[in-house]
Structures are given as structure tokens and as C-alpha cells.
Amino acid sequence: MEHLKTRKSIRKYSSRQVDDAVLKEILELAERTQTMGNLQLYSVVVTRDEKMKEMLSPAHFNQPMVKQAPVVLTICADFNRTTKWAECRNAHPGYDNMLSFMNASSDALLYTQTLCNLAESMGLGVCYLGTTLYMPMQIIEVLNLPKLVFPVATITLGWPDESPTPSDRLPLSAVVHKEMYSDYFPEDIDMLYAEKERLPENKKFVEINHKETLAQVFTDIRYTKSANEAMSVTLLQALKQQGFIQE
């Protein structure tokens, strides 16, 4: 997995198609990922059709990758299939609850990441769209997702038509704790974020957004309190609609 050292999300794709055989290989091998009770609590909707991409696009704030990528994958937490299986086998399922949603989400996200690692190790480019959780209702409608199915990740996939420089990461000491969680004092924050804040690309990011600090770009523009709170409401509504939270 040497590719990881230089990996970068790819947002521009060449016109070269992703063969069905290649896609099948990745989707199938990713099935080896560990899964709760070997139940495989996920489904993948493969979008190749231009019209379907156009319909998905607004749910992802019209990010151009959705229409430009040859393949869009929507990975869903899925307790519907297991529930249907149980109902066909004289068994009484009880997966219309929050724990089951989290279990299925976990399965779906672990599967997603093996899939990303596989695709990237083969030279394909992927971009993970976090927007999936922002307007889940739209995605649910477009993809016709039944109860107990919930979209948790979207991957755009194709052969890269760009080779961006890997982005910065926090030092390992920022994310690893020995034996117990040690909370961050202001001096820890200064030390752990110093390199990130010093980088020319991040300084430019602050400048073009007319902000004082890099953190403000996130709190005031990219991920604001008001947007997060509004989208938390719709997220919970969507979880109710899909049957994972009862009224």
C-alpha cells in the first residue's frame, strides 16, 4: 500500500472509461472487509447514467465531480436486506433503531474505505463526498432507497486527469493518545497546529476568504454552526423517515 504515501483526492477525471471488469473486481474484493456478524449491512448503488448523475448533482451542491466522473458510487447503510431475509425465514428482526443504524453505517464506511484503498492502489482516482449526509432525503428519493436503507458515503471514481500534491496532516502526536485521552491545552494546540498554520497554501486560504485565522475559515464559512444545526435537524428527520428512529 505504498500508494498511500502520495495519495490525494482526485477531482478531475480523464475521458478513459472505468471498465465493468475493473469496477467489479474492486467492489467484490472490498467485500472481504470485516462486517458485523458477517451480515454485510451495506448496499452500493452504481451510477453511470448521465441523467442519474444530473439528478444526484444538486444533493452534492453541484460539485462538478458528480457529473464529470465516469462512475459515482453511493454506499448505503442497509438493514433492509437482512430484515427481508429474516422475514422470509420465520425470524423476527428488530433493526429499526439507532444502534442498528450505527452498526450498518460502520459496515458501510469500512467497506467504502477498503474500496477507496483498492481503487487508489490500482491507479484510479477517488473523491469522497461528505455532502451525502447533508441532504440525504434528496439522495434517498433519487435512488429510490426503501426503509432501513440510508446513504452514508458517495465516491466519485475515474482515471485521474490531475496529480495534486498531497495535503498536509497533523503530526501523529495530535491524534494519538497513550492509555488515556489527554486533553489539549492552548500550548498543545499552538504546537500541534503550528506547521499547518504556517503553510503558504493555508495562509493563502485565510487571505482569499478575508479571515484572521485558518480556524475561522472553517467555523465562519465552510462548516458553520447554523448550517450544522439545520442539517442535523434534516438528518434526524431522514433517519425517522427511513425507520431508524421511532417517533
Binding positions for a copy of itself, 89-108, rule CB under 8 A = 89-95, 97-100, 102-103, 105-106
Q: Kindly identify the residues of this chain, within the stretch 145-174, that bind a copy of itself according to CB under 8 A.
A: 145-146, 149, 152-153, 166-170, 172, 174
Please state, in angstroms and rounded to a whole number, the distance separating the CA atoms of residues 76 and 84.
Answer: 16
Supply the minimum distance, in Å, between the C-beta of residue 164 and a copy of itself: 12
Residue 212 backbone phi and psi in degrees, to 5:
-85, -35
* Contact call for residue 49 and a copy of itself (CB under 8 A): yes
* Contact call for residue 184 and a copy of itself (CB under 8 A): yes
Q: Kindly identify the residues of this chain, within the stretch 58-77, that bind a copy of itself according to CB under 8 A.
A: 76
Supply the minimum distance, in Å, between the C-beta of residue 160 and a copy of itself: 14
The answer to whether 57 and 139 have CB atoms below 8 angstroms apart is no
* Contact call for residue 218 and a copy of itself (CB under 8 A): yes
Supply the minimum distance, in Å, between the C-beta of residue 12 and a copy of itself: 16
Q: Of 218, 214, 195, whose CA–CA distance to 205 is shortest?
A: 214
CB atoms within 10 A of CB 126: 25
* Contact call for residue 222 and a copy of itself (CB under 8 A): yes
Q: Which residues pair with 149 in a beta bridge?
A: 78
* Contact call for residue 204 and a copy of itself (CB under 8 A): no
Nearer of residues 32 and 203 to a copy of itself, judged by Cβ: 32
Among 14, 17, 189, 198, binds a copy of itself (CB under 8 A): 189
55: Cβ contacts below 8 Å, ≥ 6 apart: 142
The answer to whether 242 and 236 have CB atoms below 8 angstroms apart is no
3-class secondary structure, 90? coil
Residue with cell 487571505: 207
* Contact call for residue 224 and a copy of itself (CB under 8 A): yes
